[in-house]
Structure 1
């Protein structure tokens, strides 16, 4: 298992890093008293009690279940460091990024905050708001012992180490196998083409009662779906330099048409229900309530849904493959990471906490691969035998997916404005406020203006 995890992680993250390195490219905490706390320094309650009182702001995205893990880890750190008080700033995914953008623009970023490298890496790496970690490594405040170099490279920009990964994951369809079989149907295979998935959805939709659906409408929950669709055809969301869209009008037309047909057959919820679902906590989603067969999410979230659904047997189905595409799959590997603000007034203490979060064996066991496969071998070894069954399935899924996808690329600056624009026009199509052709033309025209063409 150890070798399999290590080889898999090396394979996964190596593909990420062509662009993550862009310009250039904690002794692990022991689970014992008075020993290494994950920052490379020894700590005990007596020594910490006499130190200066410190407040550290820590922000992350997630849900109530993830919040519990964060709080348990941060409580543990406060117990070991009585002089430290951690101000916790959790948000849902949808609320997190606008809030963080506002804080950064106002010079009021949290001392430590989460950063999704695929989606927002370049957006923040180029804003000169993240504190490089190299000097704290040199001081022994941040430990890199046992870290895979490829994972470190993912958080490196212009030669500076800016971020440490909390895990590596990938988008998929979390599948309620028990509910499907309860309809008298067989669960789909681990891989299924777009056309076969549409046929399967039509059959399943007929078997479901009113108010229940086959899957989520990906056009209304973000840009992962369209990005995978164009990557399968040799394109990309944006060109590498961010100067233009990386796909053609016909790609977007065909994608929106595919999901309009799924909407018309009742396989996905009507636009108003999808819009309502976009902002609810995970426990309030149709999938978590047992009213949907598939949920479009990163594989690391499968265990959360397994816990929410109780006795239901879940599986992981690959996002539909494109048999006649340049690549069968278009998935992007995702690297949620943790960074420190350049404006922090408590940088040394923040560095210690950051290192503790990703290195300490007790802390990482609490976190339990919440964001995917850990990037450090000692942590992976410590988790062996304790991984959630759905995390085991996630490992198998990644083995399958990484065989036929294009290299993962970190999106260039400007991607956030384009994804927001895409979402706006997706909503207008779903609510039938514009035809697909009208929306495609308007999207391409406005995108060209944003990108400075």
Structure 2
């Protein structure tokens, strides 16, 4: 079931930023295209995903067309690779689809190029967004206007080998745990297993998902608002890398060779190969289901245990549904968006194929048909979502990442690895990281 975003998908998604940015001139020249399905009596809709997602979309759309026989839909779909290349070509040629599945990482660039239609005038009328939180809608909002309806909620969380913990006589930590608690239970795992298993994989030290939460707990963002710099301080990254250096010293996480081997290869993740019980790589239970037979569970990223620590978690929007601005069928596209957001048939057809459903109503509708692990996953996402909504000190949801973000994320991982292997001191790597980051984002 494709219901989470792995680190590999994040990197792949970010690579699309370069694709969109590289076509900036073409997008500016065509102003969003001239056709967008307007020459056909059919409404064109396109999306990417797995075979399961394709089947779910087709089932839901068949139901929509049965109730709306005047809206004829031509469906096109593919995998992610090449999806936005084709979209860009269609825009330049004046044949963009009317309705498309949009990437949250790219919505800002397309909206600012005039490719996407603002949806605000439809909200509360033909577009029913009852149950959608403001923090969730921020994923499709650019410069104060809504350009995409989120399909689900995405959260940063840890995947835990719960059966492995129980085998060692240890309990799953409380959801309101801290970074100190992660260190303690990771040491306990190592001791209880006789040194055979570590607590948490060292992916965390170089993980976007983990460090971004940590930075936000310090009141800092990963990228600056204008995207021209990183938004976190030298001191925060230093404390982060010092935390993971201590974790390695305590054998709370596995040796760097295991971390290196697992980079972009989930089959070698420390939890999957039995060398750790906690991982920040949510892809272990992601597209295609689980890559381990262990009984899994989930936890929020740990909270800050220092004075003044803030809520670091946030909710993103999974994927979006957006309409192209040049389309003459925006009204019909909005009806379809509303159908996927609120219709019981559509919600049950989509299950978790576009992420954890965005509303409590939708989550309740599908809960009974889920596997135990799916239920645990959805329950944790729901818990984090509610906690974020209730937090008065949480920073706003991060904006779409800037061009070059994929390089920064990889730089963070490789920097942590250089420290772990002893190739660089933390102080030396800090200077190198910020110098390289400035070059990437400033270029």
Q: Please indicate, yes or no, whether the TM-score normalized by the shorter chain is above 0.5.
A: yes
What is the CA-CA distance between 1:58 and the residue it aligns to?
Answer: 1.0
Give the C-alpha shift of residue 162 in structure 1: 0.7
Q: Secondary structure at the match of 1:320?
A: coil
Q: Which runs of 5+ in 2 are unaligned?
A: 1-39, 67-71
Taking structure 1 as reference, are residues 189 and 250 closer, same or farther at Cα in structure 2, changes over 3 Å only?
A: same
Which of residues 338, 349, 361 in structure 2 aligns to 1:366?
A: 349
Structure 1: segments with no counterpart, 5+ residues: 1-50
What is residue 131 of structure 1 aligned with on the other side?
A: 117
Q: Residues 60-209 of structure 1 correspond to what in structure 2 (within 5 A)?
A: 60=49, 67-78=51-62, 81=65, 84-91=73-80, 102=85, 106=89, 107=91, 112-116=100-104, 121-133=107-119, 143-144=127-128, 146-148=130-132, 150=134, 152=137, 155-158=140-143, 160-208=145-193
Separation in structure 2 between the aligned mates of residue 131 and residue 343 of structure 1, nearest angstrom: 4
Q: Contact 1:234 / 1:326 at 8 angstroms: preserved in 2?
A: no
Whether 1:447 and 2:441 are equivalent positions in the alignment is: no
What are the residue-to-residue correspondences of 1:362-441 with 2, within 5 Å?
362-368=345-351, 371-375=355-359, 379=362, 382-383=365-366, 389-390=375-376, 391-400=378-387, 406-412=393-399, 415-418=402-405, 420-431=407-418, 432=421, 433-441=423-431
Cα distance in 2 between the residues matched to 1:149 and 1:429: 35
Compared CA separation, residues 334 and 216, structure 1 to 2 (3 A): farther
Distance 2:333 2:268 in 1: 34
Q: Give the corresponding residue for 2:304.
A: 322
Contact kept, 8 Å, 1:55 with 1:84, in 2: the verdict is: yes
Q: Provide the aligned C-alpha RMSD in A.
A: 4.3
Indicate how the Cα distance of structure 1 residues 273 and 398 shifts in structure 2: closer, same or farther if over 3 A, else same.
Answer: same
- The change in CA–CA distance for 1:274 and 1:255 in structure 2 (over 3 A counts) is same
Aligned 8 A contact 1:167 1:372 in 2 = yes
Q: Would you say the 8 A contact 1:425–1:439 is kept in 2?
A: no
C-alpha contact 1:59 1:114 (8 A) present in aligned 2: no
Question: Taking structure 2 as the reference length, what is the TM-score of the superposition?
Answer: 0.69
* Distance (whole Å) between structure 1 residues aligned to residue 431 and residue 179 of structure 2: 25
- 8 Å Cα contact 1:122-1:411 kept in structure 2: no
Q: How does 1:220-369 map to 2 (within 5 A)?
A: 222-263=207-248, 266-280=251-265, 285-287=269-271, 292-296=276-280, 312=295, 314-340=296-322, 342=324, 351=334, 353-368=336-351
Aligned residues of 1:322 and 1:328 also touching (Cα < 8 A):
yes
**Residue by residue, what CA displacement relative to the aligned partner does 1:343-384 show, whole Å, maximum 9, x if unpaired?**
887855755554443333112123335623524x76456447
1-structure distance, mates of 2:220, 2:298: 26
**Structure 2 CA distance for aligned equivalents of residues 287 and 304 of structure 1:** 17
Seen in structure 2, the aligned counterparts of structure 1 residues 449 and 266 have a Cα distance that, compared at 3 Å, is same
Mapped to 2, the partners of 1:309 and 1:103 lie a distance apart of 35
The two structures have a TM-score, normalised by structure 1, of 0.67
Cα deviation 1:8-32 (Å, max 9, x = unaligned): xxxxxxxxxxxxxxxxxxxxxxxxx
